């Protein structure tokens, strides 16, 4: 137990160090953008005195390290400053948008994870059958297309031609539960088609790899039903890679939904990031990127820890 706790603490420390490095990269990347932010805000006709005053107000006249430390300290307190576009507090802008992104990710995960694992188990159970080939070909096709293309295809057929679902998911804060499920079905379906293939193929590969192990062959020779062998003996030992691929895809749902949110005009954090980039609202861009990076690192760290817990052999160096 002590070794497990030490290993978890070391992974947490590594995650925090990674997040610190990523935060520095985000801050420097925005700082290296061409042009003067104060000049962009005031316009080309602004005088040098007004530009200098704006730079002082924004803190751009301070050293780079000092500005980074101040920004990072505010982020740790949950204070990202104010938006340069409208003067609102960034945490207020991000709060509702981030919740919308989490809701869409949860909606997608509730569909994609059970479907992917079920298809992976079935494909492994009926390996090399027509069903296995059809599932592999279908998932390979869906994974080959970018998410925005899949989204537009779904809008064309399920919205424009058939009229079953709305092509725009511009929900409001007072939307009901079932109305939310209905209006966001197309973006959830788009993300489901994109991420299901990864999880299904990893589940299938992990199960098939374990089926060649001696203890599985012994169970098979004893006449144990194939379904029971997979569910009772193979699946528990394949949880580590399956958990990893699920966590990676959950991280993608949070951080990679930008294109899907733009296609369906969904008011999530990705849409806010795109709007802020177009307005050169760098404070919001920095905050959104830091949140995306934090979620991605946390989910990967969670997957790492769960993999170790489900497979204690990973605690020992080879």
Both 64 and 211 in one domain: the answer is no
Is 38 a domain residue? Answer: yes
Both 251 and 307 in one domain: the answer is yes
Confidence of residue 38 (pLDDT cuts 50, 70, 90): low
pTM given for the model: 0.81
Both 135 and 56 in one domain: the answer is no
Both 140 and 279 in one domain: the answer is yes
Is 155 a domain residue? Answer: yes
pLDDT digits (tens, 9 = 90+) for 223-243: 777 777 777 777 777 777 777
Is 11 a domain residue? Answer: yes
Mean pLDDT, rounded, of the chain: 81
Beta bridge partners of 82: 89
Domain membership of residue 293 as a residue range: 100-315
Provide the number of structural domains found in the chain. 2
Q: How far is CA 246 from the centre of its chain?
A: 11
Both 40 and 187 in one domain: the answer is no
Both 234 and 121 in one domain: the answer is yes
CATH number for the domain spanning 298: value is 1.10.3720.10
Q: Which of 288, 122, 301, 111 is nearest to 194 (CA)?
A: 111
pLDDT, mean of residues 255-265: 82
Is 81 a domain residue? Answer: no
Neighbouring CB atoms inside 10 A of 101's CB total 27
Both 143 and 11 in one domain: the answer is no
Answer whether residue 140 shows pLDDT above 70. yes
Both 32 and 156 in one domain: the answer is no
pLDDT digits (tens, 9 = 90+) for 176-208: 888 888 988 999 998 888 888 888 888 888 888
pLDDT digits (tens, 9 = 90+) for 271-296: 888 888 877 788 888 888 888 888 88
Position 314 scores a pLDDT of: 58
Both 35 and 157 in one domain: the answer is no
């Amino acid at each position: 137990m002590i070794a497990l706790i030490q290993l978890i603490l070391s992974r947490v420390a590594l995650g925090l160090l990674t997040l610190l490095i990523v935060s520095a990269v985000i801050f420097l990347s925005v700082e290296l953008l061409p042009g003067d932010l104060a000049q962009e805000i005031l316009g080309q006709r602004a005088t040098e005195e007004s530009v200098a005053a704006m730079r002082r107000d924004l803190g751009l006249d301070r050293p780079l390290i000092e500005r980074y430390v101040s920004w990072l300290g505010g982020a740790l307190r949950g204070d990202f400053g104010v938006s340069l576009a409208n003067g609102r507090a960034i945490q207020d802008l991000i709060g509702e948008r981030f919740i919308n992104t989490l809701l869409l990710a949860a909606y997608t995960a509730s569909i994609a994870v059970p479907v992917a694992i079920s298809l992976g188990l079935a494909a492994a159970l009926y390996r090399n059958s027509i069903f296995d080939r059809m599932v592999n070909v279908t998932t390979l096709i869906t994974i080959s297309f970018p998410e925005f293309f899949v989204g537009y295809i779904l809008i064309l057929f399920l919205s424009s031609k058939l009229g079953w679902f709305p092509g725009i998911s511009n929900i409001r804060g007072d939307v009901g539960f079932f109305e939310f499920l209905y209006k966001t079905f197309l973006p959830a379906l788009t993300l489901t088609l994109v991420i299901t293939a990864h999880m299904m193929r990893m589940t299938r590969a992990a199960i098939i790899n374990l089926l060649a192990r001696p203890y599985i062959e012994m169970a098979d020779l004893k006449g144990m039903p194939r379904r029971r062998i997979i569910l009772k003996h193979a699946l528990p030992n394949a949880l580590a890679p399956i958990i990893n691929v699920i966590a990676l895809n959950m991280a993608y749902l949070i951080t990679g939904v930008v294109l899907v949110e733009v296609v369906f005009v969904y008011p999530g954090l990705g849409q806010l990031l795109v709007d802020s980039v177009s307005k050169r609202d760098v404070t919001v861009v920095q905050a959104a990127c830091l949140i995306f990076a934090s979620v991605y690192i946390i989910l990967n760290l969670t997957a790492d820890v769960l993999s170790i817990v489900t497979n204690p052999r990973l605690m020992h160096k080879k």
